[in-house]
């Protein structure tokens, strides 16, 4: 698994596209930070880490999703991976961890925004930590979803488009579920990533949403493993 992680990180940062994606993410979050925090003359960052960061994270994950399995198919290296002695679980976990590392590195830009607030106001450290934790859990869940989508799509553009569409649906599906009968709406609401961020937004640690995000990660990693195993045996 360590070899997979190293390979993914090196391939991502050996060309300008990796730095361009992180730079674009920093620009987008900077704009969102000004709109949601600076323009309102407040130190509370719950809204920023909630709605605004969800879409910033969606864009980031969608842009890096093409490198998971779709790029392997394009370059013809997927056959080598499928026939290598590496366990499928190790391959999938390696891809996931490398994506999580890239995602975490990009989100560190938020520390700069907090330092800016500290120059003019008060930031509650515990609240910020919980907001960051919630945002990271959502991001890691997005990466797991993107991994699965990448394993079932045939090209990079299709992966980016499908990832964006699914993650957008997982944002609005809670609102949609409220308009439906409970028999249908309640099960659909469990697909919502955003609706469980509210406790993190106000600085509270609630085990329930944490377990939910970890479960989403586990389920989609499992589905990805099964999909890759199916392709390997085929």
Q: Is the pTM of this model over 0.75?
A: yes
- E strand or H helix at 64: helix 53-65
* Residues contacting 175, CB < 8 A, separation 6+: none
What integer pLDDT is reported at residue 178 of this predicted model? 79
pLDDT at 179: 77
Burial (Cβ within 10 Å: 0-12, 13-18, ≥19) of residue 13: middle
3 within 8 A of 92, measured Cβ to Cβ: no
List the structure tokens of 221: 């990693």
Total Cβ atoms within 10 A of residue 127: 19
167 and 145 Cβ atoms separated by less than 8 Å: yes
Q: What confidence score (pLDDT) does residue 226 get?
A: 87
d(CA 138, CA 59): 13
The predicted pLDDT at position 116 comes to 85
Other C-beta atoms closer than 10 Å to the C-beta of 166 total 18
Give residue 78's pLDDT.
Answer: 57
Residue located via tokens 């969800």: 54
SS3 state of residue 45 = coil
Token pair of 189, please?
A: 């609401």
Beta-carbon neighbour count of residue 106 at 10 Å? 22
The rounded average pLDDT for each run of 10 residues, N- to C-terminus, in the chain (234 residues) is 74 77 89 88 83 91 78 59 68 87 90 85 83 92 92 80 88 81 77 84 87 94 86 63
């Amino acid at each position: 698994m360590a070899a997979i992680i190293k390979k993914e990180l090196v391939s991502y940062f050996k060309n300008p596209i990796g730095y361009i994606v992180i730079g674009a993410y920093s620009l987008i979050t900077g704009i969102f930070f000004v709109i949601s925090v600076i323009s309102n003359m407040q130190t509370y960052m719950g809204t920023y880490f909630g709605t605004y960061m969800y879409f910033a994270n969606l864009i980031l994950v969608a842009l890096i999703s093409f490198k998971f399995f779709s790029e392997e198919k394009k370059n013809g290296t997927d056959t080598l991976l499928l026939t290598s002695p590496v366990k499928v679980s190790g391959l999938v976990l390696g891809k996931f961890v490398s994506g999580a590392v890239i995602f975490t590195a990009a989100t560190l830009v938020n520390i700069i925004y907090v330092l800016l607030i500290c120059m003019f106001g008060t930031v509650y450290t515990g609240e910020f930590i919980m907001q960051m934790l919630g945002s990271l859990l959502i991001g890691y869940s997005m990466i797991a979803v993107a991994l699965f989508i990448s394993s079932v799509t045939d090209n990079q553009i299709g992966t980016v488009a499908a990832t964006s569409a699914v993650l957008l649906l997982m944002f609005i599906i809670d609102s949609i579920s409220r308009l439906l009968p409970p028999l249908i709406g309640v099960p659909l609401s469990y697909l919502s990533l955003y609706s469980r961020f509210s406790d993190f937004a106000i600085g509270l640690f609630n085990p329930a949403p944490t377990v939910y995000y970890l479960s989403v990660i586990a389920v989609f990693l499992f589905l990805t493993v099964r999909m890759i195993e199916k392709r390997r045996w085929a």
